[in-house]
């Protein structure tokens, strides 16, 4: 297939939908194993990724592919040349939810060149919601244009957070969680980074933060949230980089700044209390 960003989006949407069909079909029968304590994988993850990889590389055989369940994922995107077209895929974002048959999981597909995400697709197969974005062309759900909520204050905001699998009770993330729980309108931990980002783009959430994610969790959703008009940065306010794994997404600069200030203040207090 001749490459164009429009053709790439078409292929990504078809691959995401096919992978979503696999996830639905295997929901009751998937075989579960542990990659690490509390870090699950199923044969549905692998089957969905194989489907995506086959469809993408059949269309664009000269492109590179980085999937969460690939052996080569261990080398990470740093092994890819800056001028390579790189597809970054999480075939099942929200595996713990999937294992427990909780319908909050998604297929995430991004196309990157260098450190820039040019295309993002996140598909929720249970809700039949396809989030898409091409850089500079806006964000969409099922081809309907999205715009974030525009919420400006933490006290009015519905916020989401992601925690690492092996979190400890005395970690700074727990202290931050408590502080934001008190200050915000309400707080959620829903288990899919890709969907959390899309929900900020959709206006279902007003903000989201995390500090440990992988590139395949956030490359597609990061572009979608930016194209909705939302703010997306690292936790220190610097430019978002999906390879760094930390982020604040917010529906306005004012809300993002307030959330950032709160998180940074808690971190500083935590470091001071735990200093030797």
- Per-residue model confidence (pLDDT) at position 73: 44
Report the DSSP beta bridge partners of residue 160: 188, 208
Per DSSP, 211 falls in state S
- pLDDT tier for residue 170 given thresholds of 50, 70 and 90: confident
Summarize pLDDT for 263-276 with one digit per residue, the tens: 999 988 877 777 66
Summarize pLDDT for 172-207 with one digit per residue, the tens: 999 999 999 999 999 999 999 999 999 999 999 999
For each of the domains in the chain, give its residue range(s) and CATH number, in order of start: 5-145 (3.30.540.10), 154-273 (3.40.190.80)
pLDDT at 256 over 90: yes
SS (H, E, C) 33-83: EEEECCEEEEHHHHHHHHHHHHHHHHHCCCCEEEECCCHHHHHCHHHCCCC
Q: How far apart are CA 173 and CA 209, in angstroms?
A: 10
The number of helices, as runs of H, and strands, as runs of E, in the chain is: 7, 14
DSSP-derived 3-state class of residue 85: strand
Can you tell me the mean pLDDT for 148-160? 98
- Greater confidence (39 vs 63) lies with 63
* DSSP conformation letters of 162-208: ---TT--TTSHHHHHHHHHHHHSSEEE--S-HHHHHHHHHHTS-SEE
């Amino acid at each position: 297939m001749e490459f164009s960003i429009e053709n790439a989006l078409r292929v990504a949407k078809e691959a995401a939908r096919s992978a979503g069909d696999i996830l639905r079909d295997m929901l009751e029968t998937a075989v579960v194993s542990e990659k690490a304590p509390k870090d699950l994988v199923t044969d549905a993850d692998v089957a969905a990724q194989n489907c995506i990889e086959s469809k993408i590389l059949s269309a664009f055989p000269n492109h590179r592919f980085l999937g969460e369940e690939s052996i080569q994922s261990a080398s990470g995107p740093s092994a890819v040349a800056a001028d390579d077209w790189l597809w970054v895929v999480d075939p099942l974002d929200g595996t713990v939810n999937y294992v427990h048959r909780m319908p909050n999981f998604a297929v995430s597909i991004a196309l990157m060149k260098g450190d820039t995400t040019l295309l993002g697709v996140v598909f929720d197969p249970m809700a039949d919601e396809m989030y898409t974005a091409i850089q500079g062309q806006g964000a969409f759900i099922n081809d309907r244009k999205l715009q974030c909520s525009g919420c400006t204050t933490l006290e009015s905001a519905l916020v989401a957070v992601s925690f690492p699998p092996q979190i400890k009770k005395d970690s700074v993330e727990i202290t931050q969680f408590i502080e934001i729980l008190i200050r915000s309108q309400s707080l959620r931990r829903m288990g899919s980074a890709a969907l959390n980002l899309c929900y900020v783009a959709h206006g279902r959430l007003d903000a989201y933060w995390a500090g440990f994610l992988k590139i395949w969790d956030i490359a597609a959703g990061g572009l979608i949230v930016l194209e909705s008009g939302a703010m997306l940065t690292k936790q220190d306010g610097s430019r978002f980089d999906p390879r760094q794994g930390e982020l604040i997404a917010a529906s306005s600069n004012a809300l993002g700044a307030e959330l950032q200030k709160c998180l940074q203040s808690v971190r500083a207090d935590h470091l001071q209390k735990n200093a030797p």
